[in-house]
Amino acid sequence: MKNMKSLEKKLKDWRKIMNIDFKVTDWERIEIPEKLEKQVMTEIKNNKINNSDDLQMFFDKHDFVLSIDSINSPTESMTPEENGGCSTVEVFNESDGNIIWQNGI
């Protein structure tokens, strides 16, 4: 019985996994069909397309499928200041999802 409780405790401790997430910057490349080039440029210049989510909505309206490729370039670390005061490092417990520590709001 004692060995069973010891084993249960070890299993319980083993399942507690701590994760650390780091926020980084990256680049995405999206190929624009020639048919939409002028419209997309107009939307970008008018600040209506500011990110890939905006472009996705634009493509959806025009019945095109968006294909996003990550550019093979180095990622760069971010500070909370560069991220609007929000965390760029978060330490959390995977088993319950609770944040143990973060460096931002």
Q: How many residues does the chain have?
A: 105
H or E segment at 77?
A: strand 76-77
Hey, what are 55's tokens? 């472009």
pLDDT, tens digit (0-9, with 9 covering 90-100), for 43-64: 999 999 999 999 999 999 999 8
User: Are 41 and 58 a contacting pair, CB within 8 Å?
Assistant: no
> What mean pLDDT is reported for the chain?
86
| pTM for this predicted structure | 0.58
User: Are 80 and 104 a contacting pair, CB within 8 Å?
Assistant: yes
Residue-level pLDDT at 74: 82
User: Are 52 and 69 a contacting pair, CB within 8 Å?
Assistant: no
Who has greater pLDDT, 53 or 75? 53
Task: Report the distance separating Cα 82 and Cα 93, nearest Å.
Answer: 26
